[in-house]
Structure 1
Amino acid sequence: MTLDIARLLGIPTWRAFDVDDEGRVLAGSDESGSVQLVEIDTDGATTPLTALPGAVRGRYLPGERTVVVEHDTDGDERAQLSLLRLDRLTEPATVDALVPFVRDGAYVHSLLDVLPGRVLYATNRRNGVDFDVMVRGTTTDEEQVVYDRGGMVLDVAASPDSRYLAITLPGTPPLSEQLVLVNTMPATEDERVVSLTDPSEPCRHTHVRWLPDDSGLLVTTNTGRNFTGVARLDPLSGKREYLVTSDEHDVAGWPSPDGRTVLVQTNVDGTTGLSLHHTDDGSLVHDIQLPGHGWCSSPMPAPVWSPDSTRVALSFTSPLVPGDVLLVTARYGLVEQLTDSAAPLRGESLSEPAHHAVPTPDGETIPCLLYPSTSDSSGSAVVVIHGGPESQSVCAFNPTLHGLAAQGHAVVVPNVRGSTGYGKRWYSADDGRRRPDAVADLAAIHDWLPSQGIEPTRAALYGGSYGGYMVLAGLTQQPQRWAAGIDIVGMSSLVTFLRNTAGYRQAHREREYGSLADDAEFLHDASPLTHVDRIAAPLFVVHGANDPRVPLSEAEQLVDAVRGKGIECELIVYPDEGHGLARRTNRLDAYPRIFDFLARHLAR
Structure 2
Amino acid sequence: MPNDNDRLIQTLLNLRTWSLFDVDDAGHVLAGHDELGTIQLIEIAPDGTRTPLTRMPTRVSGKYVPGRRAVVVQHDAGGNELHQLGLLDLTAAALPAGPDALTPLVDDPEHMNVLREVTADTLVYSSNRRNGVDMDVYARDLASGEERAVYEEGGFVANVALSHDGAHQAVTCYSLQPASTSVSIDGEPLTAPDEQAEHGGVAWSADDATVIMSSNHDRDMAAIARVSLDGSQWNWLVEDDEHELGCWVSPDGLAMVVGRHVDGVFELAVHEADGTLRCPIRTPVAGVPEVVWAPDGSRVAMSISAATDPGSIHLVDARTGESTVVVDALEGVDVAAREQLVTPTGGRVPTPDGEQVPCFVYAGSSDADPQLQGASVLLIHGGPEAAAYRNFMPVPHVLAAAGFTVLVPNVRGSAAYGKRWVSLDDVERRLDSVADLAAIREWLPSQGLDPERAALWGGSYGGYMVLAGVSTQPDLWAAGVDIVGMSSLVTFLENTSDYRRALREREYGSLEHDRAVLEKASPLTYLDQIRAPLFVIHGANDPRVPLSEAEQIKAALDQKGVECELRVYADEGHGLAKRANRLDAYPAAVAFLVRHLTRA
TM-score under structure 1 length normalisation: 0.96
User: Which residue matches 1:315?
Assistant: 303
What's the counterpart of residue 472 of structure 1? 467
- Select which of 171, 190, 194 maps to 1:196: 190
Task: Provide Cα deviations, 1:60-110, integer angstroms capped at 9, x if missing partner.
Answer: 111111101000000000000000111113321100111111011111100
Alignment deviations for residues 376-426 of structure 1 (CA, whole Å, 9 cap, x no partner): 431100000000001111111221111110101000000000111111110
CA distance in 2, matches of 1:574, 1:172: 33
Contact kept? 2:155, 2:175, Cα under 8 Å: no
1:514 aligns with 2:509: yes
Give distance in 2, aligned partners of 1:237 and 1:412: 42
Asked if 2 retains the 8 angstrom alpha-carbon contact of 1:367 and 1:415, the reply is yes
Aligned equivalent of 1:146: 150
SS at match of 2:131: coil
* Selected match of 1:342 from 324, 330, 350: 330
Matched residue type, 1:406? A
Pick one of 234, 257, 279 that aligns with 2:251.
257
Q: Which residue of 1 aligns with 2:44?
A: 40
Is residue 2:272 matched to residue 1:284?
A: no
Which of these residues, 284, 287, 293, is aligned with residue 295 of structure 1?
287
Which residue number corresponds to residue 92 of structure 2?
88
Which residue of 1 is the match for residue 315 of structure 2? 327
* Alignment of 1:374 onto 2:365: yes
Distance (whole Å) between structure 2 residues aligned to residue 16 and residue 326 of structure 1: 10
**Separation in 2 of the partners of 1:227 and 1:62?**
36
| Alpha-carbon distance in 2 for matches of 1:13, 1:488 | 21
Q: Deviations over 1:250-274 (max 9, x none)?
A: 0011111122211000000111100
Match of 2:578 in 1: 583
Q: Cα offset for 1:213?
A: 2.6
Structure 1 distance, partners of 2:391, 2:437, is: 22
Change (3 A) 1:28 1:428: same
Does the alignment pair 1:437 with 2:425? Answer: no
CA–CA separation in structure 1 for the residues paired with 2:231 and 2:153 = 23
Q: How far apart in 1 are the matches of 2:323 and 2:232?
A: 37
Q: Measure the CA separation in 2 of the matches of 1:180 and 1:341.
A: 39
Show CA shifts across 1:292-351 (max 9, x none): 2x1214xxxx41111111111111121111222111121221111111122315452432
Q: Give the Cα–Cα distance (whole angstroms) in 1 for the partners of residues 65 and 423 of structure 2.
A: 38
Give the whole-Å Cα distance in 2 for the aligned partners of 1:253 and 1:263: 6
Residue 82 of structure 1 contacts residue 101 of structure 1 at CA under 8 Å; is this kept in 2?
A: yes
CA distance in 1, matches of 2:455, 2:540: 26
Q: Any idea what SS the aligned residue of 1:266 has?
A: strand
Partner amino acid, structure 2, of 1:205: H
Instruction: Show CA shifts across 1:184-209 (max 9, x none).
Output: xxxxxxxxx31111111111111100
Amino acid aligned to 1:258 = D
1:157 matched to 2:161 = yes
Which residue of 1 is the match for residue 348 of structure 2? 357
In the TM superposition, what whole-angstrom CA distance separates every residue of 1:104-150 from its partner, at most 9, and x where no partner exists?
A: 11111001111221111011111111111000011112010111122
For the pair 1:567 / 2:555, whether they are aligned, the reply is: no
The residue aligned with 2:208 is 214
Q: Please name the residue that 1:393 is paired with.
A: 388
**In the alignment, is the contact (CA less than 8 A) between 1:131 and 1:148 conserved in 2?**
yes
CA distance in 1, matches of 2:359, 2:214: 26
Asked if 1:403 is matched to 2:388, the reply is no
CA distance in structure 2 between the partners assigned to 1:172 and 1:500 by the alignment = 19
Q: Give yes or no for contact 2:93–2:101 (8 Å, CA) kept in 1.
A: no
Cα separation, 2, equivalents of 1:78 and 1:349 = 38
Which runs of 5 or more structure 1 residues have no equivalent in the other structure? 183-192
The secondary structure found in structure 2 opposite 1:12 is coil
Match of 2:178 in 1: 174
Distance 1:252 1:176 in 2: 15
Letter in 1 for 2:313: V
Is it true that 1:129 corresponds to 2:129 in the alignment?
A: no
Measured in 2, the distance between the counterparts of 1:319 and 1:542 equals 24
Q: In structure 2, give the amino acid aligned to 1:22.
A: A
Cα distance 1:345–1:511, how it changes in 2: closer, same or farther (>3 A)?
farther
Which residue of structure 2 lines up, in the alignment, with residue 187 of structure 1? none
Alpha-carbon distance in structure 1 between the residues aligned to 2:341 and 2:203: 39
Distance verdict in 2 for CA 1:268–1:237, change over 3 Å: closer
Give the drift of 1:237. 5.7
Identity %: 51
Rate the CA distance shift 1:562–1:117 in 2: closer, same or farther, 3 A: same
Give the counterpart of 2:410 among 412, 415, 432: 415
Q: Does 1:529 align with 2:524?
A: yes
Kindly report the root-mean-square deviation, in angstroms, between the aligned alpha carbons of the 2 structures: 1.1
| Deviating more after overlay: 578-587 vs 116-125 | 116-125
**Contact preservation (8 Å) 1:5, 1:400:** no
Distance 2:444 2:231 in 1: 53
- What's the CA shift string for 1:199-250, capped at 9, x where partnerless? 1111111110011231211111011110001111110463110101111100
Residue in 2 aligned with 1:14? 18
Aligned residue pairs, count: 588
Q: Superposition pairs for residues 59-74 of structure 1, below 5 Å?
A: 59-74=63-78
Q: Determine if contact 1:5/1:399 at 8 Å carries over to the other structure.
A: no
Paired amino acid for 2:193 = P
Aligned match of 1:190: none
User: What code does the residue aligned with 2:343 have?
Assistant: E
- Contact kept, 8 Å, 2:427 with 2:517, in 1: the verdict is no
Q: Give the AA of the match of 2:362.
A: Y
- Show structure 1 runs of 4+ deviating over 4 A: none
Once residues 174 and 102 of structure 2 are traced to their aligned partners in structure 1, the CA distance between those partners, rounded to angstroms, is 33
Q: Is the 8 A contact 1:23 1:311 kept in 2?
A: no
Q: Is the 8 A contact 1:67 1:83 kept in 2?
A: yes
CA distance in 1, matches of 2:431, 2:308: 35
Q: 1 CA distance for matches of 2:320 and 2:445?
A: 49
Query: What is the DSSP-based 3-state SS (H/G/I as helix, E as strand, rest coil) of the residue aligned with 2:115?
Result: strand
* Aligned equivalents of 1:259, 1:521: Cα separation in 2: 49
Point out the more displaced range, 143-152 or 336-345: 336-345
Cα 1:150/1:349, change in 2 over 3 Å: closer
2-structure distance, mates of 1:362, 1:515: 27
Q: Is the 8 A contact 1:14 1:323 kept in 2?
A: yes
